[in-house]
Each structure stands twice: as C-alpha cells, then as structure tokens.
C-alpha cells in the first residue's frame, strides 16, 4: 500500500534535513508518494503569503505532512508559519518524546519522558496589540474599571486565552497517550499560583480529567519547580502535559537533556490530520553547510511511519539511528562536540543519512 505524504522542506537547514529524512524513509521500502509543498519567507514574493493556499490544500487533502523548520522574523514581520499551520488544522496536541540515545553526548542517561504540549491557545494564540494601538487604550479602560492594577501607558499587550475545552482535550490526550504507551504517570505543569484565572483553569480541568484515569498516577508541578526537577532528576518524570508557552520552553530544556535540539523529534496531532516536525528551528547559523544533524527529522519520520501504521519500518529507522550513534564513528558536529568538546572527525548531514540507511537491515 502506498501512502500520500506532504513534504514541506521549509528554509534554513530544512531542505538539507528533509532531504536526508526522505532518503532514509524511501530506503525502508515503505511506498510513499511525496507531495512537495512550500512555505516560508521566499513564498511571500510569489504567493503574497508565507503559507500559500496550495500548501494548506495539500495538507488538507492528504492528511499527513512532514516539514522542515521555517524561519519566523523576530519582533516584526509575518506571524509564525508553524503556529498558523497548527491553528489552521486544529493540530492541538504537540507530542515530543525525549529519550536518551546511546552516544548522544548528553550529561544524562536513561531519560525517557514525553512532552504533550497544547498547541492552539495561550500566549501563542497570536492576539496581540502593539504599543499605541487604540485597542490598548480600550483594554486599559476595561482593566481599570475592573478594579485591577492599571496598565502602564505605552504598554503593548499580548492576550493569554486558555479554555476549559482546550485544556480538557489536551489533558485527555495526555492520559490516553499514557495508557496506549504503557506509561505510569502524567504531570500537569502550570503557574496557577500566579495566573489563577488561566493556569488555574488548566489545573482544575487537569485534576477533573485525572480522576477518570485511576490506573495512571497524576501530579501537578509549578513550571519553574518543574524545570529544576527536570535538571536534577529527569527520571522522575513520565508524561508532562503543558499549556502552549511552557510546553515550548520545556521542550527545548528536555531536548538539552537528551543530546540537544538535533535529536528531538515531534508530532502535531489533531483529530483529522497530523504534521510531523523536529523540535528545533531553521538554524540559520549553520544552514547550507551540510553540517546540521538530521536525527530529529529522521526520528520525526519514524513517528510518522508509526502514525501511518508502518510500525515495523518505524522500528527499523529508530534502531538504525541508535546503531549509528552507538558506534559513534559517523556522527554530526553537534554530537561530536558534545562528546569530545570539538567537531573534529564529524560527518555531514548527507553522510549521516547514508550511515543510517546502511544500518536499516
């Protein structure tokens, strides 16, 4: 059986790592019809938008996509293509497994946890007002009339919506995932001591949902304490469920526990569609040099193969990556540097993919 998959190469290191990933997936023998679709700054001139309608249409048609990272301008310019995709298709669950790999160069061993990040709400909703916008005055008026502390003139405002429905579906997803994956504990991460309305609602709903899963342990942790716990003793965690912004930050922290951003795969899942992508960004500092680590993208493809029902091929991809890393002779510069302090003897992106293909069995 052949699978239709939309491939969005993205920009920065995206084209290099997605090329490597595609070669590995094709070498498994699983038949995939790749539908290449574009996104990113380069599309603005051609299509007037960084996320052209034909790309959205392709994802809608085929239901499964894998993408490379896309650069988002900081402070000004267009909004994140990644966030737009997640919102357009209601890909509400971002699932990021963080597992120690042999030879990953990390200070930690035996880390095995899964981040389940809410993907559509919170400060990522994109509801923002620049300093000086008339809406800021209106909002300041509402705040003043409510008797809360006045907003300083000249402020910009970002709004943090968190709904009961959004919280319920992400926490339910986390518990269902834990049950399916044979995991024992879910930790809800929040800052409800300070943001009593928004994070307080998330926590209340999390406790309600937890009550329906007596077979899985539940705890909650304040996000700052959780970060310290992750650094001191990551093995205490199993599945973490977080609102959008904390999920973003804690994902990178956990990537750091397991060999760095080049190693951290991810999936954005909705009820109808799924988009797979590495946790990292477009790494403009190393783009076009054939030095990026494609492991995260290749492991994201393994998650995609599992989603497509190709579990045997997914297992072979993972095993091949583990073999190459444990042999240690052919690793990319980020891993070599983490292992030895220098990049000497590292291989490039394409050569790493060749090594994985040679180990597919």
Q: Helix, strand, coil % (nearest 5) of the chain?
A: 45, 15, 40
Q: Give min distance, CB of 334 to ligand NAD, in A.
A: 4
Determine, following the binding rule CB under 6 A, whether residue 258 of this chain makes contact with ligand NAD. Answer: no
Bridge-based pairing state of the strands 267-269 and 274-277: antiparallel
Determine, following the binding rule CB under 6 A, whether residue 282 of this chain makes contact with ligand NAD. Answer: yes
Q: Which is nearer to ligand NAD, 71 or 198 (CB)?
A: 71
Candidate segments 49-57, 156-164, 292-300, 315-323, binder of ligand NAD by CB under 6 A:
292-300
In this structure, what token pair is assigned to residue 301? 């493809």
Mark whether 26 is an active-site residue. Answer: no
Mark whether 191 is an active-site residue. Answer: yes
Residue with the CB atom nearest ligand NAD in the bound state = 281
Do 278 and 17 form a contact (C-beta atoms < 8 A)? yes
Helix (H, G, I), strand (E, B) or coil at 288: coil
Q: Which is nearer to ligand NAD, 41 or 227 (CB)?
A: 41
Mark whether 248 is an active-site residue. Answer: yes
Determine, following the binding rule CB under 6 A, whether residue 69 of this chain makes contact with ligand NAD. Answer: yes
Q: How far apart are CA 24 and CA 42, in angstroms?
A: 27
* Residue window 14-43: x/- pattern of binding to ligand NAD, with contact defined by CB under 6 A: ---x--------------------------
Choose among 314, 311, 283, 319: nearest CA to 300: 314
Do 207 and 227 form a contact (C-beta atoms < 8 A)? no
Q: Which is nearer to ligand NAD, 238 or 334 (CB)?
A: 334
Choose among 177, 175, 182, 178: nearest CA to 209: 175
Mark whether 224 is an active-site residue. Answer: yes
Helix (H, G, I), strand (E, B) or coil at 265: coil
Helix (H, G, I), strand (E, B) or coil at 96: strand
Catalytic residue among 191, 199, 238, 354: 191
Q: Number of residues interacting with ligand NAD: please give it, by CB under 6 A.
A: 21
- Footprint on this chain of ligand NAD (rule: CB under 6 A): 13, 17, 69-72, 82, 261-262, 277, 280-286, 292-293, 296, 334
- Catalytic site positions: 124, 191, 224, 248
């Amino acid at each position: 059986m052949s699978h239709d998959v939309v491939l969005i190469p993205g920009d920065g290191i995206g084209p290099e790592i997605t090329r490597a990933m595609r070669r590995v997936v094709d070498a498994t023998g699983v038949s995939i019809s790749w539908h290449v679709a574009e996104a990113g700054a380069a599309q603005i001139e051609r299509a007037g938008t960084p996320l052209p309608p034909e790309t959205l249409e392709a994802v809608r048609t085929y239901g499964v996509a894998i993408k490379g990272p896309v650069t988002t301008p900081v402070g000004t310019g267009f909004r994140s293509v990644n966030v737009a995709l997640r919102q357009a298709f209601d890909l509400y669950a971002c699932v990021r497994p963080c597992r120690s790999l042999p030879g990953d160069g990390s200070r930690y061993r035996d880390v095995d946890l899964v981040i389940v990040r809410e993907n559509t709400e919170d400060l990522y909703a994109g509801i923002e007002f620049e300093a000086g916008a008339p809406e800021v005055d209106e909002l300041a008026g509402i705040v003043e009339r409510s008797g809360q502390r006045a907003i300083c003139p000249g402020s910009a405002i970002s709004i943090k919506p968190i709904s009961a429905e959004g919280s319920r579906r992400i926490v339910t997803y986390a518990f269902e995932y834990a049950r399916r994956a044979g995991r024992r504990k879910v930790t809800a991460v929040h800052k409800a001591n300070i943001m009593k309305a928004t994070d307080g609602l998330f926590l209340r709903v999390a406790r309600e949902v937890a009550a329906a899963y007596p077979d899985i342990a539940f705890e909650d942790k304040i996000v700052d304490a959780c970060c310290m716990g992750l650094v001191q003793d990551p093995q205490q965690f199993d599945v973490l469920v977080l609102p959008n912004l904390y999920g973003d930050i804690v994902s990178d922290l956990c990537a750091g526990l397991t060999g760095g951003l080049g190693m951290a795969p991810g999936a954005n899942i909705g009820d109808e569609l799924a988009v797979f992508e590495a946790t990292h960004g477009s790494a403009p500092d190393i783009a076009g040099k054939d030095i990026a680590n494609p492991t995260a993208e290749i492991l994201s493809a393994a998650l995609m193969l599992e989603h497509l029902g190709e579990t045997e091929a997914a297992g072979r991809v993972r095993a091949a990556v583990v073999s190459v890393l444990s042999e240690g002779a052919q690793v990319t510069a980020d891993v070599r540097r983490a292992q030895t302090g220098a990049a000497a003897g590292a291989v490039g992106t394409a050569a790493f993919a060749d090594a994985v293909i040679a180990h597919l069995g």
